[in-house]
């Protein structure tokens, strides 16, 4: 089965579960030819982890298709200008310094992005994200900006039950009146859908080699 058939089956499965779920196809390390085939399938939500790769790949001709480009990687402050210029969503907001820089760049470029706060539910030192104990303080600080924060994002620890992590993220989002949840990847998206994901991020399940 080629990647297009995998994409079609996955899209059908997700649409059957809920028409409110957006599938973000993660195109890291994928070439333009494959991406164009997905665009021809009328898909318009794509995710990238690296700013430099995205700058090379997502040129003006692709942007003419009214696509939504999602930034999924760790945010480097010196790349924020490029992120605001190129992307429509940021899924990995996790510190106030970067939030204020995004606020400034949005004003300069007269452009509004949508943001997810990345929550480090497992308190893993090697991962980005706000610890859930610090989430209230961070949300309060974000009120000093004009950023459009729409939800929470998480990447569950590999050694923990993803259902418990997704339940926890849903509970936190409800508590802070945030409507969207960016959770679920190739190995756990079905669990995420059960627990209320509105955005799922899938790459390897589509692009894996047969």
Distance CA 11, CA 190 (A): 12
pLDDT per residue as tens digits for the range 108-135: 999 999 999 999 987 766 778 999 999 9
Distance CA 30, CA 207 (A): 8
Across 149-163, average pLDDT: 92
Distance CA 165, CA 88 (A): 26
Domain encompassing residue 167: 3-207
Across 124-148, average pLDDT: 90
Distance CA 80, CA 78 (A): 6
Distances (CA, A) of 190 to 94, 105, 125, 160, 194: 26, 36, 27, 16, 6
pLDDT the model gives residue 63: 65
Distance of CA 182 to the CA centre of its chain: 6
Closest CA to 48 of 68, 28, 20: 28
pLDDT the model gives residue 18: 75
Tokens of 188: 């756990």
* Long-range Cβ contact pairs of 96-101 (< 8 A, separation 24 or more): 96/138, 96/141, 96/142, 99/141, 99/142, 99/145, 99/147, 100/144, 100/145, 101/77
pLDDT per residue as tens digits for the range 54-71: 988 887 656 667 899 999
Q: How many domains does the chain have?
A: 1
pLDDT the model gives residue 17: 82
pLDDT per residue as tens digits for the range 71-100: 999 999 999 999 999 999 999 999 999 999
Q: Residue 64: which CATH number?
A: 3.20.20.10
């Amino acid at each position: 089965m080629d990647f297009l058939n995998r994409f079609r089956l996955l899209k059908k499965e997700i649409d059957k579960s809920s028409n409110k779920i957006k599938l973000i196809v993660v195109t890291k390390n994928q070439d333009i030819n494959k991406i164009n085939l997905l665009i021809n399938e009328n898909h318009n939500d794509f995710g990238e982890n690296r700013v430099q790769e995205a700058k090379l790949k997502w040129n003006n001709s692709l942007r003419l298709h009214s696509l939504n480009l999602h930034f999924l990687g760790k945010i480097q402050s010196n790349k924020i200008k490029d992120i605001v210029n190129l992307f429509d969503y940021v899924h990995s907001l996790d510190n106030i310094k970067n939030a204020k820089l995004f606020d400034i760049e949005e004003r300069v470029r007269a452009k509004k992005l949508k943001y997810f706060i990345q929550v480090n539910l497992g308190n893993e030192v090697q991962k980005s994200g706000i610890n859930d104990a610090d989430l209230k303080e961070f949300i309060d600080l974000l009120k000093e900006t004009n950023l459009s924060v729409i939800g929470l994002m998480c990447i569950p620890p590999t050694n923990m039950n993803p259902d418990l992590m997704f339940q926890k993220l849903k509970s936190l989002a409800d508590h802070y009146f945030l409507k969207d949840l960016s959770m679920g990847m190739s190995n756990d998206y079905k669990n995420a859908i059960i627990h209320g994901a509105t955005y799922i991020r899938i790459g390897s399940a589509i692009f894996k080699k047969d």
